[in-house]
Amino acid sequence: MLSESVQDYLKAIYSLRHENERATTNALAARLNVTAASVTGMLKKLAELKLVLYEPYQGATLTPAGEKIALEVIRHHRLIELYLTEAMGYSWDQVHAEADRLEHAISEEFEDRLSILLGHPTVDPHGDPIPTKSGEIAASSRRTLGETAEGVTVRIERIRDEDPALLRTVAELGLMPQTIVTVGPRADDATFTIYLAAGRLCRVSGEIATSIFVVDVA
């Protein structure tokens, strides 16, 4: 069985690549809060296990075997997040850290029962797609609210879930997944005006705008 550390590295590499970022030593060190030297040693180990392709100074990419493991961990994580919000009364800003701790501990049978209990869900509380049991994952938007032109109406698809304070602010503003919004003008201080239903508006910082992923309204 692979260690929790190995699983964390594979998940981090997958996440960075999904965000169109290179999984470099420095990027992984920042993501996992470890030293660059630790990252280098682990990437060499993962390459020996044929879980990543690694070239010094070029970053790492997952092999098919490495991606399968990463997606399995992500499936555990997102199912747990949904269970915590739907069955245990956690708010959506509390579940990421809890799921990080629990994702390595559950068995495959537990995962299967959790999925059945939740009705085989396809997205987690933050709008991120839940990988299937067979390791497939639906495409998700990489376009942020901050990249959307003024006057364009979009649907919020998902929210970055790492920062609890940001999630609380987003919830207070009513900018939840599936919400339809129209982008207004950008102020001189880089804040965005966002129009919601019935003409209600709110203003969001650039940090929030780049943490909300959107799709065009059909």
**Which tokens belong to 153?**
């109406």
Between 125 and 18, the higher pLDDT residue: 125
Q: CATH fold of 4-62, please? A: Arc Repressor Mutant, subunit A (1.10.10)
N residues, the chain: 218
pLDDT at position 21 is: 84
**Res. 149: pLDDT tops 80:** yes
Cβ neighbour number for residue 152 with a 10 Å cutoff: 13
DSSP type of residue 132:
P
Q: What band does 20 get if pLDDT is binned at 50, 70 and 90?
A: confident
Q: Kindly report, as residue ranges, where domains of CATH 2.30.30.90 are found in the chain.
A: 145-216
**Which tokens belong to 66?**
């490495």
**141 burial via Cβ count (<10 Å: 0-12, 13-18, 19+):** middle
The pTM assigned to this predicted structure is 0.91
Decide yes or no: CATH 2.30.30.90 for domain 145-216: yes
Dihedral pair phi/psi, residue 41, rounded to 5°: -65, -40
**Res. 41: pLDDT tops 90:** yes
Beta-bridged to residue 158, according to DSSP, are 213
In tens, the pLDDT along 83-132 reads 999 999 999 999 999 999 999 999 999 999 999 999 999 999 999 999 99
Distance CA 165, CA 145 (A): 18
- Mean pLDDT of the chain, nearest integer: 94
**Helix ranges (DSSP H) in 49-202:** 64-87, 95-102, 108-117, 164-173
Q: Kindly report, as residue ranges, where domains of CATH 1.10.10.10 are found in the chain.
A: 4-62
